[in-house]
Chains A and B, each alone.
Chain A
């Protein structure tokens, strides 16, 4: 047994083994993994804008050692390596990265059409996986990946970081406490006022760099932007949609793209709850927002806060001339009240950091993540149904075999 395998076995069985010896490693009690042997050896496949962003966060985390990067675009690879450990290896072929037996886990942050083949290869190579959202390019891949992950026994997390963010935990809590009353609608939008393109020096690189513009590689705004909100609605309702209608088009950025520059879908959830999911690429007012409509109040979730707007109850009007009661804070009158979450004074981190911390914990303790292959499947199927509804101008239904 060489150093590498013994260390990897420790990662796999570490908690039970260490607990059996009556000693707990540093990471079991806190987040400071001071011993390098406790660190998860990580490779990133795809170090473009998102992958490099993840690397920037990972670099600051004691849980991981970023030991390898892979990208087909030299500038991206260079950027990834600049954020990795000094002796990190650079690859242009992800299969070679996966061949490195010393790597415990991989982050996959590539264009959507590559998610499935890369994830399958990583599972075959025995790597734990943090796969960026959305999960797969189409529905059959989503269903198949569930089977493959379950058979592998490996940790598989989808990069829906809002499932790990205290703001959304708090929103779920107040929904369960009936603060909003009966919730009937969600209004989700992920808008921006830009062509959503990255600069291309060499025209040959257009499709590789601006893959978001092409349906060959992804589902456009629904899979790359609104995916988060669809996942959030699934999370808050503990459910998935049963059907969807939608309209969309390319009506503003007529620049050769074939993904929609505007799309508006309405998802129907159990009990008639409806979620409109919109992306418009020519307006950025409140760019990212989810409004939850209840008969007692509205919750408006923005990037890093949520506001509550109580419904006005008119039963006092006309009946009485004044009302005596416990003092209402001034802000609750007619305007939004910011929802408190987390502990006072607690530092709020980038939501992705919480997701990555949990990934590390899952790898060490062998528990499956909250954002897992099944929630990922439900999100991806909903996305594909939404795009299909718009493509075919027809209602798309959730088929029983999707969640069998």
Chain B
């Protein structure tokens, strides 16, 4: 078994693929073409992408398979988390300056109230062929889930090329399968220690081994705006329209696939620790680890009971 590594950038971040195989079976040019295809569907940064066409449309847009899968999952997660994760929050994300353009000022409450009329997954109707909206002002942003989906698409591509020992990572979201060679051990994954700013290289808080599963992390520590009163998080609460007041600094979720894990990590982060742990009690299929800030400001960590066996 030989080690093959493919690194590159896509979706505004970096990706890295490690696989073990008797010979080279997948090359970088193939992986890049997959990302390019996904961007044409899901990227708000790409002019003319399906998602941009939907956002600019009055009522409906014809969609493709990638788009369908991601929105279907997003709607399911929104429904199961009582709207804690909601892709229709995009008009508010933009107003708070976390969209594709920077904003000079912060939105006022009247603006937020007006934009809340555009928000809510109930305003979307999805079929395999098209996505429709009740209100033209409804716009979506799947950035919170698309990386996880991309990880799955790439992982499936590797498996289709009979690669069964791999680790796929896109922007800190990971899916892993099989073992590494020559050790024949499972691959170990580090959970990053939250950093103080967007530049700082973070250390490793915990090392986990998760079997053939996916793990993703959502953090409020790397993307934020500095304003007069302090930092505001890029996670916007779809219910209030304001940045989520969460005590969670980072939420790490293990699930069977990266799409699932990536969808739920945002919702859990927005919920706050107490609500997140209560909610997780009924979801044995998800295992979660949290780094959070106690009321006295001390940073601590905790996990669901079913997460601990992963920690090495």
Contacts and interface: CB of A to CB of B under 8 A. Distances in A.
Interface residues of B, number: 47
B222 interface: yes
Interface in A340-356: 343-346
B176 interface: yes
B218 interface: yes
Contacts of A311: 201
Contact of A325 (B103, B197, B250): B250
Residue in B102, B198, B207, B250 whose Cβ sees the most chain A Cβ within 10 Å: B198
A215 to B, nearest CB: 43
A33 B52 CA distance: 46
A326 B192 CA distance: 8
Interface in A274-310: 296-297, 308, 310
B104 A324 contact: no
B49 interface: no
B204 A326 contact: no
A343 B250 CA distance: 28
A313 interface: yes
A327 B192 contact: no
B18 A346 contact: no
Nearest to A323: B190
B243 interface: no
Given A330-B12, A330-B13, A344-B97, A324 B174 contact: yes
B13 A328 contact: yes
A152 interface: no
Contact of B203 (A313, A328, A332): A313
B187 A324 contact: no
Given A311-B201, A321-B180, A328-B222, A343 B104 contact: yes
A330 B9 contact: yes
A322 B199 contact: no
Given A296-B200, A344-B102, A320 B250 contact: no
Nearest to B16: A322
A320 B174 CA distance: 13
Interface string B61-104: 00000000000000000000000000000000000010000111
A35 interface: no
B189 A326 contact: no
Contact of A322 (B169, B194, B220): B169
A310 B202 CA distance: 10
Given A179-B196, A320-B207, A325 B202 contact: yes
A321 B18 contact: yes
B219 A325 contact: yes
A310 B169 contact: no
B219 to A, nearest CB: 3
Nearest to B9: A330
A15 interface: no
A328 to B, nearest CB: 6
Interface string B223-256: 1000000000000000000000000001010000
Contacts of B13: 327-330
Nearest to A346: B104
Contacts of A323: 169, 172, 189-192, 204
A283 B14 CA distance: 36
Contact of A345 (B104, B189, B216): B104
Contacts of B219: 325-326
B307 interface: no
Contacts of A319: 188, 190, 204, 207
A177 B200 CA distance: 12
B141 interface: no
Contacts of B200: 179, 296-297, 310
Given A179-B196, A315-B204, A328-B171, A321 B187 contact: yes
A333 interface: yes
A109 to B, nearest CB: 35
B55 interface: no
Nearest to A179: B197
Contacts of B198: 328-329, 332, 337
A178 interface: yes
A316 interface: yes
Q: Which 4 A-B pairs have the closest CB atoms?
A: A326-B219, A325-B192, A344-B102, A321-B187
25 contacts: A313-B201, A313-B202, A315-B203, A315-B204, A319-B190, A319-B204, A321-B167, A321-B188, A322-B169, A322-B176, A324-B174, A324-B252, A325-B192, A325-B202, A325-B222, A325-B250, A326-B218, A326-B221, A327-B13, A328-B222, A329-B12, A332-B198, A333-B14, A343-B104, A344-B102
Interface of A: 174, 177-179, 296-297, 308, 310-313, 315-316, 319-330, 332-333, 337, 343-346
Given A325-B172, A329-B12, A345-B102, 14 more contacts: A297-B199, A321-B18, A321-B176, A322-B169, A323-B190, A323-B191, A324-B192, A324-B217, A325-B192, A325-B219, A326-B217, A327-B13, A328-B13, A328-B171
Interface of B: 9, 12-14, 16, 18, 97, 102-104, 147, 167, 169, 171-174, 176, 180, 187-192, 194, 196-204, 207, 215-223, 250, 252
